[in-house]
Structure 1
Amino acid sequence: MNEFYIRIIQKRFLKSDLLSEAQSISFSEKQFREIGMNPAIIALLGFIFWTLFLGLGVVSIRSFKVLTGSNKSNEFPAGIKHGSEFYWRLNRAHINCIENLPVFGILVLIGVFAGVLDDRFELVTQIILGARIFQTLSHLSSGSVLAVNARFTGFIIQYGCFLYLLWHILYSTQII
């Protein structure tokens, strides 16, 4: 990666008027490669994969129903319960992932660009991915009270971790 792109990234994501020259982050090509394999980035990629995997499940069921003639392509209304219980839970689990992916993605990317990735940050991102998978599997298992409570536990863990990542970024960059 040449210096031109590194400078663009620095100017785009760092407020140089607020940072002294000594505080600015200097990215080398080696550091960019290391960031790409960081556990926080891997957790984000895992979250993206999980979201796409669930979406593929929804699309597969819908495509099968359309191709076999049991449904028309316009018979899958958004936000209105339709299909089997499992299909509806899969649909909702996919939507839950889509709703949380931007929050997680932005926190991880800000952490990368702010240079605050450390062992705790990386561990928390992995906990988020684990909690997301746990929440999804609980969602898909059933609608029982136990499954709903387990799903809610996964949700609370994720949001607690989101708040920690936000605090970590703000504290590490001396905003608070």
Structure 2
Amino acid sequence: MNATIIALLGYITWIVILLVALAIYRTSLVMNRKKAANSFKADGSDSPPLGHRLTRAQANCVESFAFIGGLMLLALATDSAVITNDLAYVLLIARLGQSVAHLISTSILAVQIRFAFFLVQVGICLYWIVQLATKFIG
């Protein structure tokens, strides 16, 4: 397996881990009669702070998958993983770092750290776009 495949698998696994954590969290609220099963808002805004952060961290991973996963899949589908392999792990680490920062706190420092991790991901994706466009458009 190459780095792009491993990073893509890691990204998808992280999304599933966050989803399972969210399901466990919400189930515990229902089982402890703190919330009704049909009362959760999709954005988590009606949950306690941890639940809200967990909801948003998971949703943010899914939202970012469109461009991160899309570029990795494009590279794999076009036999261009040589373009994405070198930075695939860096991107995955930045994605994990952004999520963990999101889960830990919403303080100003945590938000700035989270944004720095996001900028790393966007920068890598922009680099990949240029490299892929150069390869296919010329």
* TM-score bin (small chain): over 0.9
The SS at the match of 1:77 is: coil
1:49 aligned partner: 13
- What does 1:16-55 align with in structure 2 at a 5 Å threshold? 37-55=1-19
Higher mean displacement: 160-169 or 149-158 = 160-169
Work out whether residues 134 and 151 of structure 1, in 8 Å CA contact, stay in contact via their aligned partners in 2. yes
RMSD: 1.4
Using the TM superposition, give the Cα deviation of residue 55 of structure 1 relative to its aligned residue in structure 2, in angstroms: 0.8
User: Which amino acid in the other structure matches residue 132 of structure 1?
Assistant: R
- Greater helix fraction, Structure 1 or Structure 2: 2
Instruction: Give the whole-Å Cα distance in 1 for the aligned partners of 2:22 and 2:73.
Output: 28
Deviations 1:76-105 (A, max 9, x none): 112361222111111110010010112222
Using the TM superposition, give the Cα deviation of residue 110 of structure 1 relative to its aligned residue in structure 2, in angstroms: 1.1
TM-score, with normalisation over the residues of structure 1? 0.74
Gaps of 5+ in 2: none
Matched length: 138
- What does 1:118-157 align with in structure 2 at a 5 Å threshold? 118=82, 121-157=84-120
Instruction: Give the whole-Å Cα distance in 1 for the aligned partners of 2:88 and 2:25.
Output: 31
Instruction: Give the whole-Å Cα distance in 2 for the aligned partners of 1:69 and 1:111.
Output: 47
Instruction: Give the whole-Å Cα distance in 2 for the aligned partners of 1:106 and 1:78.
Output: 24
User: Which amino acid in the other structure matches residue 69 of structure 2?
Assistant: G
- What does 1:112-123 align with in structure 2 at a 5 Å threshold? 112-118=76-82, 121-123=84-86
2:28 aligned partner: 64
Instruction: Give the whole-Å Cα distance in 2 for the aligned partners of 1:151 and 1:39.
Output: 24
Instruction: Give the whole-Å Cα distance in 1 for the aligned partners of 2:66 and 2:44.
Output: 24
Change (3 A) 1:80 1:58: closer
Answering whether residue 66 of structure 2 is matched by residue 102 of structure 1, we say: yes
1:170 alignment partner, one of 115, 133, 137 = 133
Instruction: Give the whole-Å Cα distance in 1 for the aligned partners of 2:23 and 2:44.
Output: 17
2:57 aligned partner: 93
Work out whether residues 124 and 161 of structure 1, in 8 Å CA contact, stay in contact via their aligned partners in 2. yes
Identity over aligned residues, as a percent?
A: 33
TM-score, with normalisation over the residues of structure 2? 0.93
Gaps of 5+ in 1: 1-36
Work out whether residues 124 and 165 of structure 1, in 8 Å CA contact, stay in contact via their aligned partners in 2. no
Instruction: Give the whole-Å Cα distance in 2 for the aligned partners of 1:141 and 1:84.
Output: 14
Higher relative contact order (CA 8 A, sep 6+): 2
Which one has a bigger Cα radius of gyration? 1
